[in-house]
């Protein structure tokens, strides 16, 4: 916490000086000033303490866009998070002080925290646009602008929704959402979509599994979207997301519940059904085999373990329970063949 205090003090000072600088730029509007400011922030870029102001971010944004280095762009993104995590709260009181000491700066200062508290990512993107208009004087940047226009077109084509992709209330099934609440997973409602879950998800970095999106869809009642998506089954239930969730959402429970609904709607992989078949036939998901029997005997253990393998009446109990809960019907168990129907 001490370190955080030091950081915030430097950030406050920095904020003050930078706001003044910004004001000067706007008033004079000279090329010289702008390029100086850009140079300043370019060097600031390497200064870890300075990363926490709105203006610095916007300058860095333009700087990183001009650069071709992917690593710099990464740093930029990281810095944006730093602001969100470290400086937003601490800056607010300091800005209040600023307000009382310098009336002229009020409009600008008020604007800054309001935007920041809304959405940092949006904030930085709008800043990028601001900079573009400010920097129009720089003829050297025209080439970059053209390049950017092309990028924008490409990006727009990628992200614009078509009518086909639009989800409406007709896609929502309130009963689907109710299933989570009824199962005691009320925390599905607590999710504020921060993305911490996806950030730590080992499946998310190698498969189309987007845990944050699934949680959202479950809350919205987008049943078909959730249960027909194969990615739902890419979670290894490692709990990394749930451990890190700042809202204590029972994420793994949500995923398992969504899978239950999917399974009952007929979305089950054959290998999964087969594990169920093994349990119904032997009481074990991984039953014993001859090699294991030989190994057990060699090292002085009983040939088969004292489980359902050794107690047929115990196996009958397991089978009976699976029938009571209709698990046999759920997986399509064929009692006659001891396999799957069809």
Is the Cβ of residue 194 or residue 314 nearer to another protein in the bound state?
Answer: 314
Instruction: Write down the least CB distance from residue 171 to another protein, Å.
Output: 24
Alpha helix stretches (DSSP H) within 106-210: 106-118, 120-134, 142-159, 174-182, 196-200
Is the Cβ of residue 66 or residue 85 nearer to another protein in the bound state?
Answer: 85
Instruction: Write down the least CB distance from residue 263 to another protein, Å.
Output: 4
Apex CA 200: angle with CA 240 and CA 258, to 5°? 60
Q: What is the DSSP letter of 286?
A: S
Is the Cβ of residue 91 or residue 308 nearer to another protein in the bound state?
Answer: 308
CA distance 198 to 36: 40
Instruction: Write down the least CB distance from residue 278 to another protein, Å.
Output: 8
For residue 139, give both structure tokens.
């003829």
Name the residues that contact another protein, by CB under 8 A: 183-184, 202-203, 206-207, 233-240, 242-244, 248, 252, 256-257, 259-260, 263-264, 268-269, 271-272, 274-276, 279, 283-289, 291-292, 295-296, 298-301, 305-311, 313-315, 317-318, 320-322, 324-325, 327, 330-331
CB 180 within 8 A of CB 254: yes
Nearest to 262 by CA among 235, 300, 241: 235
CB 173 within 8 A of CB 223: yes
Instruction: Write down the least CB distance from residue 82 to another protein, Å.
Output: 21
Instruction: Write down the least CB distance from residue 337 to another protein, Å.
Output: 20
Is the Cβ of residue 107 or residue 271 nearer to another protein in the bound state?
Answer: 271
Instruction: Write down the least CB distance from residue 143 to another protein, Å.
Output: 41
CB atoms under 10 Å from CB of 253, counted, come to 17
Q: What is the DSSP letter of 83?
A: I
Is the Cβ of residue 150 or residue 236 nearer to another protein in the bound state?
Answer: 236
Is the Cβ of residue 18 or residue 201 nearer to another protein in the bound state?
Answer: 201
Instruction: Write down the least CB distance from residue 200 to another protein, Å.
Output: 9
Nearest to 191 by CA among 132, 128, 263, 254: 254
Apex CA 246: angle with CA 245 and CA 251, to 5°? 30
Q: What is the DSSP letter of 160?
A: P
Nearest to 223 by CA among 199, 198, 257: 257
CA distance 270 to 265: 14
Is the Cβ of residue 35 or residue 260 nearer to another protein in the bound state?
Answer: 260
Q: Considering only CA atoms, give the Rg of the chain.
A: 29
Instruction: Write down the least CB distance from residue 188 to another protein, Å.
Output: 16
For residue 248, give both structure tokens.
């204590």
Is the Cβ of residue 67 or residue 207 nearer to another protein in the bound state?
Answer: 207
């Amino acid at each position: 916490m001490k370190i955080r205090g030091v950081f915030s003090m430097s950030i406050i000072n920095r904020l003050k000086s930078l706001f003044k600088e910004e004001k000067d730029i706007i008033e004079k509007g000279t090329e010289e000033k702008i390029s100086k400011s850009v140079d300043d922030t370019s060097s600031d870029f390497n200064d870890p303490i300075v990363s926490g102001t709105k203006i610095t971010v916007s300058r860095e944004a333009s700087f990183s866009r001009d650069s071709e280095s992917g690593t710099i762009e990464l740093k930029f993104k990281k810095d944006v998070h730093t602001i969100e995590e470290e400086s937003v709260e601490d800056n607010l009181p300091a800005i209040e002080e600023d307000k009382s000491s310098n009336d002229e700066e009020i409009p600008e200062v008020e604007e800054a925290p309001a935007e920041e508290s809304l959405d940092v990512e949006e904030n930085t993107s709008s800043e990028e646009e601001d900079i573009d208009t400010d920097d129009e004087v720089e003829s050297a940047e025209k080439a970059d602008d053209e390049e950017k226009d092309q990028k924008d077109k490409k990006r727009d084509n990628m992200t614009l929704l078509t009518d086909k992709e639009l989800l409406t209330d007709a896609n929502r099934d309130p009963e689907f959402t109710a299933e989570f609440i009824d199962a005691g997973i009320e925390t599905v409602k607590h999710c504020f979509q921060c993305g911490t879950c996806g950030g730590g998800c080992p499946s998310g970095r190698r498969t189309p599994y987007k845990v944050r999106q699934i949680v959202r869809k479950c809350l919205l009642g987008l049943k078909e979207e959730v249960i027909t998506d194969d990615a739902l089954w890419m979670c290894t239930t490692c709990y990394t997301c749930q451990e890190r969730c700042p809202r204590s959402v029972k994420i793994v429970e949500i995923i398992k519940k969504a899978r239950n609904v999917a399974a009952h709607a007929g979305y089950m992989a054959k290998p999964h059904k087969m594990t169920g078949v093994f349990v119904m036939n032997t009481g074990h998901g991984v039953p014993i085999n001859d090699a294991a029997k030989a190994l057990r005997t060699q090292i002085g253990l009983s040939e088969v373990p004292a489980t359902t393998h050794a107690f047929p009446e115990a196996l009958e109990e397991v089978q009976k329970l699976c029938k009571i809960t209709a698990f046999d019907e759920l997986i399509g168990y064929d009692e006659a063949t001891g396999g799957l129907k069809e």
